[in-house]
Chains A and B, each alone.
Chain A
C-alpha cells in the first residue's frame, strides 16, 4: 500500500497573528512558519501504518512557494520516503490545491491520501473533501482513530455529537484530527538522513491546473478587543449585572 500525505506551511501556532495595516491580509514577513499541526498528525499516522507493515511507501507532498519544501523535509525526517513539491507563487485556494493533488494522485496512484482536517491559517477545511469529490473516492474526515483492514479503513470521526465510526473502502481520503496521535520528534540523525532523501519539483502550471484566485478577499481585520473583566462581590450582584448590563438572562 502507498500513502500520499499532503502538508502545508503555515504561520507557527505560537506566533501572535498581526493584521496588515491596509487590511489586505496578515503579516507573514519575519514570521516563524511551521507545518500545519494536524498535517503532522497525518504524517505520523502514515508512518505508524508503515511501521505496522501495512504500507510500503509514504510520499509527502506540498503545494506552495519554495520555502514550503521545509514541511516536506520535516515529513521526510519523521519517516516519509520521498517528497514532492508543487511550486506555486502567492495565495492558492483549496480548490486549486485539490486539483493539484488530483494530478499528483493520477501520477502516483496511492491507495490512501492523508492530510490535516484543516489548516490553521485559513481554517477552510475544504481540500480533503474537494479532492474526494474530484477523484470520486470515499472520504473520512476528522479522523481520531484509523484501523487498516483488508480493503477498507475503519475510521472514528470526531463529530459534534461525539464519536462516529465509519468504514470506507480503499482508495480513500482521510483528514486527520489532532487527537489522532502524538507526532514524534524529528531526531537529529533522521534529519541528517532526510537531507539526502529526494524531493521532486513540479511547477503547478506544468500540471495544467488553473491556480488563479476565485475568491475575492474584501477585507481582513482584527477581532474586536475584549473588554477587561470585573470582579463581583456576591451572587446578587452577578445576577443583576447579567440581567441589566450583559442582558444575557
Chain B
C-alpha cells in the first residue's frame, strides 16, 4: 500500500467519544504546540454516541474547571431519585437510603453524552486539535520493531466485491509518536491490539451488556425534570442481569433505556423485545402514555470492571476509556472514568515525549488515580449477580453498604459472553407480545429513527469467518440468536425454495458491536464500513 499519503503527528487519537476528546484536550493543555489529530468514524462528532446518561462531573471539573462558564450542555441537575423492583404487574419502591452510596446521584446531571461530546470537540478544536469526522481508522500500522506506528483510514469507494469504483479514494496513513485508541466498547482495532500484545493475559474474560435507549417527549403532567429512576426485575428472569433507566431531561423529554448483560443463557431471549415489553409495565406505561417516541438506538457496553481490564499500554500506543473497559458497573456510569483515563493517558504521553518516560507509567498513574479506587470498590458487584438476582442484591448490599467495596477477596468472571448460551432445545421459547406502535415498536420502525445508512454498493462490513456456519451449526444449536440479539434486525434467516439462507442487511447496522461479542462461535467480525456510515444520533 505504498500509494497512500502519509501525515505525521505527535499524537493520533482514534475515536471522538469522552475518552478520546479528553485525551486531546489534556494534551493541548499540557503542551499547546503538540500536533494532535483525532479521527471519528461517524459523520460528525456525537453521531455514534449513545449513553443514559447521568453524568458525574468529577473528571470534567479537573479537565475544564470553568465548564459552567463555557456554555456546556450540562444543565439538568438530578433532583430526585427512585428505585423500583418490578413484578409482572406490581412494583415495589426501594428506599434510596438503602441503596449503595455509589448509586446516589445527588450532585450529578442528566445529560446527552452526544451533545457533551460535540461540546468537548469544540473545546478541543479551539485548543488546536485537528478533528476529522467521517474517517474510520481501519488498520493498525506497525514499525519494524513491532511497536505501533499509527493507523490507516478506510479506503472509500469500493464496490460490494471490493473493486475500485470511479469515486475510489485510497485511505491515508497517519503516523504518530503515540497512538491512542479510544474507540469505545469492543473497538475493532482495540480488539486486535489486545490480542496481538496479549494485553488481557491473566485477566478475566471481558463482560458486556447491550444497552437500548429511546427518547420520548411526554405529557407535561408526567414530566418531572431532574428525576432519575432505575428498575430491576420484570421482564427479565432472575438469572439474567439487567435493568432499566428512566431520566427526566429538559424540554419534556425522558431518556428511557434498558441494559441486559450479554452473559444471558437463553438463545431465545431477544433483548430488543424485552426492552419493548418492559415499557408495557403499568409503572412505566403511565409515564410515557400520551407521549411520542422520537429517538431509538442501542450500543454494547463494558461490564467486566477491574478483573477484566486489560493492560492499557503497549509499545507506541495506549488504550483509553471503554476500548479498554473503564466503566463502573454498579455506578452505571462510564463517562467520568473514560474521561479521566484519557486525561491520565495525556499526562503519560506528555512525560513520554518530554522526559522519555516509558508508556508503562500509564498503569502506575492509573492505579494511583481515583478511577482505580472506584473500580476496585465496585469489582465484586457484577460477578455476584451470576448467582441470580436475589443473592446478587444481598451480596451487593453487604459488599457495598456494609463494607463499601473493601471485602478482602475478588470474585471472578468465569465465562466470556459468547460461551454462556445454552442449547436452544434445552431452553424455553419466549413469546413476545406484538408491538402496538404506540408504546412498543418493531425493529423496522425503530431502525428508521436511528437515521443509520451505509452506501449500498460497498463491501459488507460484518464479516463471517465461516459463511456456512450460521445455517450449518448455529441455527440448529442456538436457533441463530443473531436474529434476536441484533437490535436493528441486521441478521435474518430466510427460506428460499426450502433452502435456508443467512442474510446480512449490513446497511441497517448501528455499530453496537453486539454480534461481534455474542456470536457463540465468534464467527462475526465487525470491521469499519465506509466513513460517515452508521447512525445519525442527535441528543443520545
A binding-site residues for B, Cβ under 8 Å: 12, 14-16, 18, 21, 29-32, 34, 182-189, 191-192, 195
Contacts and interface: CB of A to CB of B under 8 A. Distances in A.
B443 to A, nearest CB: 15
A188 B452 contact: no
Contacts of B538: 15, 29-32
B468 interface: no
Interface in B1-54: 5, 7, 43-44, 47
B132 A185 contact: no
B41 to A, nearest CB: 13
Nearest to A33: B44
B153 interface: yes
A153 B522 CA distance: 58
Contacts of B115: 30
B411 interface: no
Q: Which 4 A-B pairs have the closest CB atoms?
A: A30-B538, A30-B539, A32-B536, A185-B156
B531 to A, nearest CB: 8
B451 A185 contact: no
Nearest to A32: B536
Contact of B167 (A14, A184, A189, A191): A184
Contacts of A184: 167, 169
25 contacts: A12-B536, A14-B451, A14-B452, A15-B451, A15-B536, A15-B538, A16-B448, A16-B449, A18-B294, A30-B112, A30-B115, A30-B538, A30-B539, A32-B43, A32-B44, A32-B451, A183-B167, A185-B157, A185-B167, A188-B5, A188-B135, A188-B153, A189-B7, A189-B172, A192-B130
B440 interface: no
B496 interface: no
A187 B169 CA distance: 6
A195 B125 CA distance: 12
Interface string B499-528: 000000000000000000000000000000
Given A30-B539, A31-B538, A12 B451 contact: yes
B426 interface: no
Contacts of B43: 12, 32, 34
Interface string B144-167: 000000000100110000000011
A78 B135 CA distance: 15
Contacts of B132: 188, 191-192
B45 to A, nearest CB: 11
Contacts of A15: 451, 536, 538
Interface of A is mostly: loop
Interface string B91-115: 0000000000000000000001011
Contacts of A182: 166-167
A183 B157 CA distance: 11
Nearest to A182: B167
* Residue of A18, A32, A192 with highest tally of chain B CB at under 10 A: A32
A14 B451 CA distance: 5
Nearest to B172: A188
A146 B267 CA distance: 57
B347 interface: no
Given A32-B44, A32-B451, 17 more contacts: A12-B43, A12-B451, A14-B536, A15-B536, A15-B538, A16-B448, A16-B451, A29-B538, A29-B539, A32-B536, A184-B167, A185-B156, A185-B167, A185-B531, A187-B170, A188-B153, A188-B171
B79 interface: no
Given A185-B156, A192-B130, A14 B453 contact: yes
Contacts of A192: 7, 130, 132
B454 to A, nearest CB: 10
Given A21-B217, A32-B536, A185 B112 contact: no
Contacts of A195: 130
Interface string B428-469: 000000000000000000001101110000000000000000
B540 to A, nearest CB: 9
